Amino acid sequence: MADSGNKGMLLTFVMIYMVSLGLNLLVNHLCLTGFPKFNFDFGITTETQYINFLSFKGNKFLAFFFATLASAFLNFFGQKFLVFKTAKADFEDVVDI
């Protein structure tokens, strides 16, 4: 059975992911409304035709990229400093002298 410390850790973990989801949606929305619409088309032109290798909407790609970046940073630092924070161990507790 989980002790109260683990329940607190689980609650913090869930809260960080909920806030991260909200941040992701907010950044994505702000980028989609703030960036101008443009397309990326990568391909080559031969004598008779254009061969398209990759095509995507640039504003949607950038919105996805920045939203993912923001939520990844929040998740990493939230997990590191709030969920999985470690107590300072005394050297004598670690090494049997």
Could you state, in order of their start, the residue ranges of all structural domains in the chain? 1-36+56-83
pLDDT bucket at 2, cuts 50 / 70 / 90: very low
pLDDT in tens, 42-83: 888 888 898 888 888 889 999 999 999 999 999 999 999 988
Provide mean pLDDT across the span 2-25: 86
pLDDT in tens, 18-30: 999 999 999 999 9
Query: Rounded to the nearest 5°, which phi and psi values hold at 67?
Result: -65, -40
- Report the Cα–Cα distance between both ends of the chain, in Å, rounded: 33
Residue 96 confidence (pLDDT):
59
